[in-house]
Amino acid sequence: MIRIAICEDKDEPARTLFAHLARYQKERDVSLEYVHFCNGLAFLDKYRQGFDVVFMDIEMPVLDGMETAKRLRQIDPYVPLVFITDLKQFALKGYEVEALDFLVKPVVWPAFASMMDRVRKNLSKRGDDTVALQTAEGTVKVSLADVYYVEVVQHYVVYHTLGGEFRFWGSLAEEEKRLPADRFVRSSSAYLVNLGHVTRVDGVDVYVGGACLPLSRGKKAAFLEALLAFVNRR
């Protein structure tokens, strides 16, 4: 499943994107899910991490796409961003917000399909590894990309994920051994953080998945070093 956010204020370009997505899903035999936002303010107000790619129109009222993208990067530095615009000159400024690609309106099918192929290739690089969790309700497979962080609460391990929380008896040390060490790093003795979802580090606080987690003094240097290495690999 590829989760897509579309920020487009005009009806006709939006309908074109919907039609291309339907065709791409059928011809490439992939599962797509998208949410449409009519302007930049609505997009930022309702934005949640978990999207695999964002399609962003540049020319929008109130808050244009470039400013929306800059604010997006403050809350999600990593989500792939594709500009869709009838203003070719703006494509040259995409580096400011680390845009993955751009398309010029009216968006034609060959260009759209090529862009989506790039998106899928980019997503494949991060992998879709899963972890099996033995909960009281049974075994649950969770994509590592969907895990925000893992914590331990009175001998119970709690996985905080895009799909909700999963709790089972265990230890954080055991989970640390079976999760990728270059991606999941302790911020304190009680928390194991997915670096791919970190949006901000502020003093002794780490912001991830909408939560503010403690960053202990003893683990801060190693955590920041791991975060920097992770960002440089992307």
Per-residue pLDDT tens digits for 180-228: 898 999 999 999 999 989 989 999 999 998 899 999 999 999 999 999 9
Per-residue pLDDT tens digits for 82-119: 988 876 555 455 556 667 788 888 999 999 999 999 88
Record the tokens describing residue 125, joined without a space: 């690089």
Record the tokens describing residue 148, joined without a space: 């925000």
- Scanning the structure block, which residue is given the tokens 């895009």? 162
pLDDT at 8 exceeding the cut of 70? yes
pLDDT band at 56 (very low <50, low <70, confident <90, very high): very high
- The Cα–Cα gap between 177 and 90 comes to 45
DSSP assignment of 83-117 equals: EEES-GGGGGGGGGGT--EEEESSPPHHHHHHHHH
Task: Locate all alpha helices (DSSP H) within the chain, ordered by sequence.
Answer: 11-28, 40-46, 65-75, 109-126, 172-178, 217-233
Q: Count the Cβ atoms, other than its own, within 10 Å of residue 211.
A: 15
Task: Answer yes or no: are the C-beta atoms of 184 and 197 closer than 8 Å.
Answer: no
pLDDT at 122 exceeding the cut of 90? no
| Strands 138-143 and 147-153, bridge-based pairing | unpaired
What is the per-residue pLDDT for 49? 63
202: exposed, middle or buried (Cβ count in 10 Å: 0-12, 13-18, 19+): exposed
pLDDT band at 17 (very low <50, low <70, confident <90, very high): very high
- The Cα–Cα gap between 29 and 117 comes to 12
- The Cα–Cα gap between 153 and 142 comes to 20
Record the tokens describing residue 202, joined without a space: 């502020």
Q: For residue 63, is it left (φ>0), alpha (ψ between -120 and 50) or beta?
A: beta
What is the per-residue pLDDT for 93? 57
The residues, any chain, with a CB within 8 Å of residue 91's CB and separated by 6 or more, are 83, 85, 102, 104
Q: Model pTM? A: 0.58
Task: Answer yes or no: are the C-beta atoms of 193 and 226 closer than 8 Å.
Answer: no
Q: What is the mean pLDDT of residues 1-5?
A: 88
Q: What is the mean pLDDT of residues 44-54?
A: 82
What is the per-residue pLDDT for 88? 59
Domains (range + CATH), the chain: 2-126 (3.40.50.2300), 130-233 (2.40.50.1020)
Per-residue pLDDT tens digits for 128-185: 577 888 888 888 888 888 899 999 999 999 999 988 899 999 999 999 998 989 899 9
Closest CA relative to residue 97, chosen from 111, 116, 77: 77
**What is the rounded average pLDDT for all residues in the chain?**
87
Q: What is the mean pLDDT of residues 121-132?
A: 70
